Structure 1
Amino acid sequence: MPADDIAPEPGVAKPDALLVADGVRRTFGGLTAVDVEHLEIQRGTITALIGPNGAGKSTLFNVLSGFDRADAGSWTFDGAPLAGKAAHRVARHGMVRTFQLTKTLGKLSVVDNLKLAATAQRGERLLPSLLPPLWRRQEREIEARADELLERFKLAHMRDEFAGTLSGGQRKLLEMARALMVRPTMVMLDEPMAGVNPALTQSLLGHITALRDEGMTVCFVEHDMDVVMGISDWVVCLAEGRVVAEGPPDVVGADPAVIDAYLGSEHGEPGVEDDDE
Structure 2
Amino acid sequence: MAADTGVPNAGRLSAIVPEPGVRKPDPLLVMDQVTRTFGGLVAVRVEHLEVQRGAITALIGPNGAGKTTLFNVVSGFDRADGGRWSFDGQRLTGAPAHRVARRGLVRTFQLTRTLARLTVLENMLLAAPGQRGERALPALLRPLWHGQERELERRADELLDRFRLGPLRDDHAGTLSGGQRKLLELARALMTRPVMLLLDEPMAGVNPALTQSLLGHITQLRDEGLTVCFVEHDMDVVMGISDWVAVMADGHLVAEGPPHTISRNAAVVDAYLGKRHDEPQATGQKEKGNGEEKGNGEEKEE
Residues 198-252 of structure 1, C-alpha deviations (whole Å, 9 max, x = no match)? 0000000000100100010000000000100000000000000100000000111
Q: Residue type of the partner of 1:111?
A: L
Deviates further, 189-198 or 1-10: 1-10
| Number of the residue aligned with 1:115 | 125
Runs of 4+ in 1 over 3 A off after TM superposition: 267-273
Supply the distance in 2 between the matched residues of 1:130 and 1:59 (Cα, whole angstroms).
42
> Closer, same or farther in 2 for the Cα pair 1:263/1:187, shift >3 Å?
farther
Residues 26-71 of structure 1, C-alpha deviations (whole Å, 9 max, x = no match)? 0000000000000000000000000000000000000000000000
Residues 7-43 of structure 1, C-alpha deviations (whole Å, 9 max, x = no match)? 1000000010000000100000000000000000000
More helix as a share of residues? 2
1:236 aligns with 2:207: no
* Contact 2:14/2:258, CA 8 A, preserved across alignment: no
The alignment partner of 1:112 has SS state of: helix
Match for residue 185 of structure 2 among 166, 175, 178: 175
Shift of 1:262: 1.7
* Contact 1:191/1:222, CA 8 A, preserved across alignment: yes
| Number of the residue aligned with 2:269 | 259
1:214 aligns with 2:231: no
> Closer, same or farther in 2 for the Cα pair 1:250/1:134, shift >3 Å?
same
Supply the distance in 1 between the matched residues of 2:278 and 2:139 (Cα, whole angstroms).
60
The alignment partner of 1:25 has SS state of: strand
Structural mapping, 1:152-167, within 5 Å:
152-167=162-177
Supply the distance in 1 between the matched residues of 2:186 and 2:159 (Cα, whole angstroms).
9
Shift of 1:100: 0.2
Q: Rg bigger for which structure?
A: 2
Corresponding pairs, count: 272
1:5 aligns with 2:26: no
Supply the distance in 2 between the matched residues of 1:80 and 1:269 (Cα, whole angstroms).
48
Shift of 1:264: 6.7
1:131 aligns with 2:141: yes
| Number of the residue aligned with 1:94 | 104
* Contact 1:2/1:45, CA 8 A, preserved across alignment: no
| Number of the residue aligned with 1:104 | 114
Shift of 1:270: 9.1
> Closer, same or farther in 2 for the Cα pair 1:268/1:133, shift >3 Å?
farther
Structure 2 residue ranges without an equivalent (≥5): 1-10, 284-302
| Number of the residue aligned with 1:50 | 60
